[in-house]
Amino acid sequence: MPTHSPTALAARPAPRSLVLLRPTGLLVKALLLLGGLLLAANALKLAAGYSPGRNGLGALLGLGLLLGAGYGVARGNRPRLLTISREALQLEPVGPEPDQPAETIPFSSITAYTYWLRLLRFRGFAQYHLRLELADGRVLHLADRPGPRPHDPAGTVRLDVLAKRLARRAKSEAGPLRRPLFYQTRTARGLLWGSGALLAGSIALLGLGYPAGLVLLPPAVSYWALYYLGQADAESTA
């Protein structure tokens, strides 16, 4: 088996990956779904001749949620160049006009991490995600950026390569703790049962002629949809 000297290993270029900082997450998707449901439900009630007071406010609330979540999607996907060295991660801005300075994240400052694969089926793209919890309380959510751009640096690899290096380092020494995906936790399954009960209560109220069932319907349906989308599209890889 070939061996490599420490000098040769140090001379190797550090792996780097083009990533998104703060990609679209669970909260933004929930707001998009909830806003769409609220807007559709209240618009249908207005079209059916119900009182425009509460229904108009509900439609405006749904529209506000959609606009706010859309703004979060537009502003949240910021590209960065992530490099992994022997002692730290380096985040650098990409593009001719960088909007943020470079940042060095020592491995000693990473207290926990989560690493998973999300399948974007409608775009034909498998996107790796890495969530880092830092000692100062911050949380960094990184993900592969699909598609090349004019100012992308050459020689980059998928985030998978860097995340696996971090995972190996965590296993070989007293490194950061690996956390499971949210959809793999008891809390997520408990909320699923709760949303099922909420959905059943909503249907029962509507069946008895109480319009209050419409208030319970959007959050119940939203969580069920997000849970099963997360189960289908997210696969733990570390």
Q: Work out the average pLDDT over 194-205.
A: 86
d(CA 161, CA 237): 12
Q: Are 114 and 131 in contact (CB under 8 A)?
A: yes
- Does position 91 have pLDDT exceeding 80, yes or no? yes
Q: Are 162 and 190 in contact (CB under 8 A)?
A: no
Residue from 64, 60, 65 nearest 30 by CA: 65
How many residues in total does the chain contain?
238
In the chain, at which residue ranges do the beta strands (DSSP E only) sit?
16-21, 78-84, 88-93, 103-106, 110-120, 125-134, 139-144, 177-178, 234-236
pTM above 0.85, yes or no: no
- Count of H helices and E strands in the chain? 6, 9
In this prediction, residue 15 carries a pLDDT of: 83
Quote the percentage of the chain above a pLDDT of 90: 0
Q: Work out the average pLDDT over 29-45.
A: 76
- Does position 231 have pLDDT exceeding 80, yes or no? no
d(CA 58, CA 176): 44
Q: Work out the average pLDDT over 48-75.
A: 71
Beta-carbon-side half-sphere exposure of residue 21 (alpha carbons within 13 Å): 17
